A and B are shown apart, each in its own frame.
Chain A
């Protein structure tokens, strides 16, 4: 008698999950459509003059224009390239530094105030130096992205190491894990979930910063596109760029979220 009940409840839960999957897709679409409709309506009844709020039609037209001119694609590639390089550099340095600091108490005590100091320094404050040191183009933007993401990544990794239950290390000691082995077999897998969250958060910072960073010292990129649209008194084109930035940012975050499906990471979540 127990068996059918289980399968029934299983079925029910599957159905519920299925239902929620459809909803999960539908609900955000409805919200987005509502916002679009509201925007259309506001611009249709001319609540704000056209120079203060471009209409969806004008934005769509400028989207087509930017696409055809090849500028939009060029800008997207430029921004993606800068974010990718800056972010990868920050991760390759930030995560190991965080792991090392997390395991060495004195180093941690010595460096944390300095790291915190730089973390709270807005990367945009570096703009004048970025241009002076790295001139104009990709390099200053990549430098700014590094400054924006390295410190939060290193600090988040470091504090993640601090949260590992000490029993792990005691067991590791029993297995005679030391040095690299300890790092790859215990420490790193244990902090991976937090590191991935930190990666997602700092990627968010990077994507926000790239737009601001490109407004000066660059000659292309999505942020520059907004600046140029302002200079050209073309707010419709600025909105078009804003939409592209938001959509791309969202898309890449979904991709990063896939990282949580790593088998090693699951272990971390289930511990």
Chain B
């Protein structure tokens, strides 16, 4: 084979051109269309505005894809595109860089951002409850006190799960150092528990249900038993968006609120709708949403000062939050509709899932 320097340069340029063309597809009118972003093709002709909303594939953020779906199948003024993220640090960076101006995130993290001067506001909540403390199925742990000297995984230091478990430890007369906390990505928690690397974990759904369904773990506490009306995540909106496009935020909060109301009463359909967005097994989601209605709740999602104050106080006590931010600076309730109707989602339009296999 004869190769020359010129040949190499031509080859490099050719490779780059071909890859670039394949990547950006200039012949496609939508430009760099991402096969991952399009879950349900939009046909909503009425919408004149668009907004991308970030979320993670957890049930706490379920209303995000529901709103995405609703904006594409019903007549709304704004078209919402849900954009999936896989971890909170990336969400934070995206928000700081204003690549997404509205996103779901864990509440204490939003407080921390506000503390650091990123102008964000909590406009609505994700869901209530929906988190559990899971321990090994055959372990002898019967209460929190049994976890003394053990390792418990949490999704983030700035997660409300972390805050609440400290509150629970106080209630049981335990010292903060009695339990070793490990920050783990939620998907790794069930497997770490099975492998014996951790003795328990406290995280949002569906990562608790997964351990139950796989026969790895059992629920030690439901969040609601520890901290009634437990809040994990909230809809966080950048102040610039609120200032520049209040009508989009209005549409967004209404959409999320109506989606929540719909999800509360159409749980099986919600699981079916979200599965392709989350790329998760519909069975797991369905289990979370329908097995026991007390697992998750999409009611009472207007942020209340006392609830968030309680979280902030706990964070300050633990030394993770340092500044007391007035609640009227943190929360913006102006966009919550007076009357929340059910999102007019036509269940028949939810596409049938493709073959979902179990392991």
Contacts and interface: CB of A to CB of B under 8 A. Distances in A.
Contacts of A58: 357, 359
A51 B281 CA distance: 13
Given A261-B1, A262-B3, A81 B359 contact: no
A217 interface: yes
Contacts of B186: 231
Given A71-B35, A84-B16, A131-B93, A51 B214 contact: yes
Contacts, number: 124
Interface centre among B1, B23, B216 (most CB of A within 10 A): B23
Interface centre among B86, B96, B185 (most CB of A within 10 A): B86
Contacts of A228: 84, 86, 279
Nearest to A265: B3
A46 to B, nearest CB: 12
Interface string A200-238: 000000000000000111011000100111111111100
A58 to B, nearest CB: 6
A24 interface: no
Nearest to A58: B359
Nearest to A133: B97
B197 to A, nearest CB: 12
Contacts of B94: 131, 135-136
A216 B86 CA distance: 7
A52 B23 contact: no
A230 B187 contact: yes
A227 B86 contact: yes
B5 A224 contact: no
How many A residues are at the interface, by size bracket? 35 or more
B2 interface: yes
B89 A128 contact: yes
A71 B36 contact: yes
A132 B86 contact: no
A42 interface: no
Given A215-B86, A217-B90, A232-B57, A259 B19 contact: no
Interface in B217-252: none
Contacts of B284: 233
B169 to A, nearest CB: 29
Nearest to A49: B194
A105 to B, nearest CB: 28
Interface string A178-201: 000000000000000000000000
Nearest to A62: B357
A74 B34 contact: yes
Nearest to B281: A233
Given A230-B188, A231-B187, A232-B57, A81 B4 contact: no
Nearest to A216: B90
A52 B144 CA distance: 28
A70 interface: yes
A52 B193 CA distance: 11
A258 B359 contact: no
A65 B354 CA distance: 9
Interface centre among B5, B83, B84, B278 (most CB of A within 10 A): B5
Interface string B62-106: 000000000000000000000110110110011011010000000
Contact of B89 (A51, A216, A230): A216
A170 interface: no
Given A51-B194, A74-B34, A230-B185, A135 B99 contact: yes
Contacts of A216: 86-87, 89-90
Contacts of B19: 77, 80-81, 84
Interface string A84-125: 110010000000000000000000000000000000000000
Given A128-B89, A220-B34, A227-B86, A52 B191 contact: yes
A234 B279 contact: yes
Interface string A51-86: 110100010010001000111001001101100110
Given A131-B90, A219-B34, 10 more contacts: A51-B191, A71-B35, A77-B23, A128-B93, A132-B97, A136-B99, A232-B281, A233-B206, A235-B359, A262-B5
A-B pairs, top 4 by smallest CB distance, nearest first, are A131-B93, A50-B359, A232-B279, A230-B187
25 contacts: A49-B214, A51-B359, A52-B195, A74-B34, A128-B89, A131-B94, A132-B97, A136-B99, A216-B86, A216-B87, A219-B37, A219-B84, A227-B86, A227-B87, A229-B279, A231-B56, A231-B186, A231-B278, A232-B187, A233-B187, A233-B207, A233-B281, A259-B3, A259-B8, A263-B4
